[in-house]
Amino acid sequence: MGFFGGGGAAPANMGGATSSAAGTAGLVPAPAAGDQTAFLSGSGSFLIPAVPTLSKDSGQTQDVGAINGSSVVFFGCPFLFGGSGATLPSTLKPLFCPIYIPKTDTYTRLACTITVGSAGTLFSLGIYSLDEATGLPKTLISNVNNLSSASPANVEGTISQSLNQGWYWAAIMGDSTTPQYRVENSQTLSFIGSREPYNGVSRTSLRIVTTTARSSITDWASTIARNDLTIGQDVNKAFVHISVRKV
- Rounded distance between C-alpha atoms, residue 104 and residue 50, angstroms: 20
For residues 72 and 226, the model is more confident at: 226
- Rounded distance between C-alpha atoms, residue 44 and residue 70, angstroms: 31
- Check whether 139 has a pLDDT greater than 50: yes
Across the chain, how many H-helices and E-strands are there? Answer: 0, 17
pLDDT score, position 8: 61
- Which band of pLDDT confidence, cut at 50, 70 and 90, is reported for residue 51? low
Residue 132 forms part of a structural domain: yes
Rounded to an integer, the average pLDDT of 223-243 is 81
- Which band of pLDDT confidence, cut at 50, 70 and 90, is reported for residue 193? very low
The domain of 122 spans 63-245
Rounded to an integer, the average pLDDT of 147-164 is 93
pLDDT score, position 59: 43
Residue 41 forms part of a structural domain: no
- Three-state secondary structure call for residue 226: helix
Residue 180 forms part of a structural domain: yes
- Rounded distance between C-alpha atoms, residue 50 and residue 78, angstroms: 24
Rounded to an integer, the average pLDDT of 119-136 is 94
- Rounded distance between C-alpha atoms, residue 129 and residue 139, angstroms: 5
pLDDT score, position 236: 57
- Rounded distance between C-alpha atoms, residue 142 and residue 159, angstroms: 7
Residue 107 forms part of a structural domain: yes
For residues 184 and 159, the model is more confident at: 159
Q: Are 155 and 182 in contact (CB under 8 A)?
A: no
Residue 32 forms part of a structural domain: no
Residue 35 forms part of a structural domain: no
Phi then psi for residue 244, to 5 deg, are: -120, 135
Rounded to an integer, the average pLDDT of 177-190 is 72
Residue 34 forms part of a structural domain: no
Residue 40 forms part of a structural domain: no
Rounded to an integer, the average pLDDT of 167-173 is 93
In this structure, what CATH number is given to the domain that contains residue 155?
2.60.120
Domain count of the fold of the chain: 1
223-236 in b/e form (b: 16+ CB < 10 A) is: ebeeeebeeeebee
pLDDT score, position 185: 62
Highest mean pLDDT among 45-49, 78-82, 183-187: 45-49
- Check whether 221 has a pLDDT greater than 70: yes
Q: Are 102 and 110 in contact (CB under 8 A)?
A: no
